[in-house]
Amino acid sequence: MQTDSSFTFVLFGGTGDLSMRKILPALFEAHRAGGMLADSGKIVAVARHAADRGEYIQWVNEHVKPHVSKNGVDETAWSSFLERIEFVKIDLGNPEDFALLRDAVKDLPGIRVFYLATGPSLFVPICRALASVGLNENARIVLEKPLGYDLKSSNAINDAVGEIFAEEQIYRIDHYLGKEPVQNLLALRFGNALFEPLWRREWVESIQITIAEELGVEARGDFYDNTGALRDMVQNHLLQLLSIVAMEPPHSMDSDSVRDEKLRVLRALKPIDPLNIGKVAVRGQYHAGGIRGNAVPAYATEPGVKPNSTTETFVALKVEIENWRWAGVPFFLRTGKRLADRVAEIVVNFRAVPHSALGASALRAGANRLVIRLQPNETIRLYCLAKQPGEGMNLASVHLDLAFDQFFREGQMEAYQRLLLDVINGRLALFVRRDEQEAAWRWVEPILNEWKASNKPPKPYAAGTWGPAAASAMLAQHGTCWLEEEN
Ligand code: BG6
């Protein structure tokens, strides 16, 4: 990917966790790779926890360097990367300080990108302060998730930001959309004629999408306890994956063609019936347990979490899409913290043969299945039945594997690297449009409301397991089960 588009990348929250772990390392990778970032491009970090550029660079050396290049840092590239960095000390509570930012960037070249790696409560004040010094013109603004807490608060932010920036200037990040395997899902579906005719209700019995994590809430107990898995993972990452799995073929890959099709799926989600919620939604919370042989504490004892918290760390849902292609096909979504494995995958269960001329073994579960593993180890695995060697006609499940690392020698690009390059180059396709975000909130909100109103605690599960038994029971009602294979 070559670019000659120059840029000034202003990073609010320059000493925050996200800047340290993701944003600055991603910019460094793009810099190190050569040819991806214009030589004249500058990074202007904004923070108040450093006195001046010298102190900020020291912080970058201490805190960011350990997060770049797992295979060791290229020192020459690292020092030339540091030369790109400028620093402005701003107290975000003090709008007058923005004059300092205006002066700092006024002679810097190229398109201006303002990346708000801050809490959402600062989005509107920062945008207003940028506008007050004229910095909103011809600029791009990047908003991190969570963008609001519910439909109302997300609309309030979008309305206020929308008064200052036009929709084409706004880049709402969902980092799952930047993951290479998610891109590959588009390639699989729309680059091959083989799958598309089968990708519909006549041939598909059910679809599962799992994002399972071994990690707990880490240092974010306070944030997480006010958020929960439905807001943290379902409203955004899982519904985005679902919309890509289920969307109609877009006319082209331009940003609005793709986003229009995703939006149609989000708008076709069957609303959850509050009276029926127990049958289609399971919420859980982890108790003490063990992950890969190490004891881990209960969620309610994590720092920042209220001891009697009823926040969910696990969600499983049965979702239906009310359109011609998918009517009647259940989509099972699941995500959770402290589960048995770290895995993100999509499982497409095709229908069994209509008549079993080959005997009962031809109806075995586990065949006729496509598993698209997004992480770790991106693979696509097609399960089918084959005859077991020997006498008689006994069928066994076998699989065809596509392991991407065997085909492509170049490593995958990190999600943040791709997304930041897209912002700099003005490509919006992998960012969430306002109407998509609203549709997702609109669908999720009745679940949140019902859970709140019912006041029932989440179902317990031991850390290191696959979540509450009710999540398996929900699938059993449909004659299926979650795919849970060892990595
Ligand atoms: C973030 C969530 O959006 O995604 C985190 O806030 C979660 O809670 C993370 O851990 C998972 O992302 P990944 O890329 O590690 O699967």
CATH of the domain at 312: 3.30.360.10
Instruction: Count structural domains, the chain.
Output: 2
Residue 466 lies in a domain: yes
For 193, the token pair is 């004629």
DSSP 416-483: HHHHHHHHHHT--TTS--HHHHHHHHHHHHHHHHHHHHH-PPPEEEETTBSS-HHHHHHHHTTT----
For atom 13 of ligand 1, which residue has the closest CA? 176
Regarding whether 116 and 186 lie in a shared domain, the answer is: no
For atom 9 of ligand 1, which residue has the closest CA? 233
Task: Give the model's pLDDT for residue 4.
Answer: 60
Test site for ligand 1: of 18, 173, 209, 213, most ligand atoms within 8 A of the Cβ: 213
How close is the Cα of 390 to the center of ligand 1, in Å?
A: 48
Report the alpha-carbon distance of residue 296 to residue 301 in Å, rounded. 10
DSSP 290-309: EETTEEE--GGGSTTS-TT-
Regarding whether 404 and 285 lie in a shared domain, the answer is: yes
Regarding whether 265 and 373 lie in a shared domain, the answer is: yes
Ranges of the chain with pLDDT below 70? 1-4, 70-71, 361-365, 486-487
Regarding whether 189 and 136 lie in a shared domain, the answer is: no
Residue 486 lies in a domain: no
For atom 5 of ligand 1, which residue has the closest CA? 232
Test site for ligand 1: of 22, 67, 173, 176, most ligand atoms within 8 A of the Cβ: 176
Query: Which domain CATH number covers 120?
Result: 3.40.50.720
- Boundary-marking domain end, from 127, 144, 161: 144
For 102, the token pair is 């205006």
Q: Which atom of ligand 1 is nearest to the CA of 211?
A: 16
Regarding whether 267 and 377 lie in a shared domain, the answer is: yes
- Boundary-marking domain end, from 144, 163, 194: 144
- Domain hosting 214: range is 177-412+433-476
Burial (Cβ within 10 Å: 0-12, 13-18, ≥19) of residue 239: buried
How close is the Cα of 409 to the center of ligand 1, in Å?
A: 26
How close is the Cα of 232 to the center of ligand 1, in Å?
A: 8
Model confidence pLDDT, tens digit, residues 214-261? 999 988 899 999 999 999 999 999 999 999 999 999 999 999 999 999
Task: Give the model's pLDDT for residue 197.
Answer: 93
How close is the Cα of 223 to the center of ligand 1, in Å?
A: 13
Residue 481 lies in a domain: no
Regarding whether 137 and 85 lie in a shared domain, the answer is: yes
Q: Which atom of ligand 1 is nearest to the CA of 217?
A: 8
Q: Which atom of ligand 1 is nearest to the CA of 237?
A: 3
Residue 17 lies in a domain: yes
Model confidence pLDDT, tens digit, residues 86-127? 999 998 888 889 999 999 999 998 999 999 999 889 999 999
- Boundary-marking domain end, from 125, 144, 163: 144
For atom 15 of ligand 1, which residue has the closest CA? 213
Task: Give the model's pLDDT for residue 40.
Answer: 94
Q: Is 251 a catalytic residue?
A: no
Residue 367 lies in a domain: yes
Regarding whether 116 and 250 lie in a shared domain, the answer is: no
Regarding whether 130 and 181 lie in a shared domain, the answer is: no
SS3 383: strand
How close is the Cα of 326 to the center of ligand 1, in Å?
A: 28
Q: Decide: 213 in ligand 1 pocket, CB within 6 A.
A: yes
Regarding whether 210 and 110 lie in a shared domain, the answer is: no
Residue 150 lies in a domain: no
How close is the Cα of 237 to the center of ligand 1, in Å?
A: 9
Residue pair 21/67 in contact by the 8 Å Cβ criterion: yes
Of 252, 181, 176, nearest to 440 by C-alpha is: 176
Regarding whether 125 and 232 lie in a shared domain, the answer is: no
How close is the Cα of 69 to the center of ligand 1, in Å?
A: 20
Report the alpha-carbon distance of residue 459 to residue 259 in Å, rounded. 36
Q: Decide: 414 in ligand 1 pocket, CB within 6 A.
A: no
Beta strands at 379-387 and 369-375: parallel, antiparallel or unpaired: antiparallel
Regarding whether 396 and 270 lie in a shared domain, the answer is: yes
Residue 36 lies in a domain: yes
Report the alpha-carbon distance of residue 308 to residue 4 in Å, rounded. 54
Q: Which atom of ligand 1 is nearest to the CA of 179?
A: 14
The catalytic position among 31, 67, 175, 237 is 237
Q: Decide: 345 in ligand 1 pocket, CB within 6 A.
A: no
Regarding whether 274 and 218 lie in a shared domain, the answer is: yes
DSSP helix, strand, coil percent of the chain (3-state; round to 5)? 40, 20, 40
Half-sphere exposure in the Cβ direction for 145 (13 Å, CA): 21
Q: Decide: 232 in ligand 1 pocket, CB within 6 A.
A: yes
Task: Give the model's pLDDT for residue 2.
Answer: 45
Of 171, 135, 110, nearest to 46 by C-alpha is: 135
Residue 172 lies in a domain: no
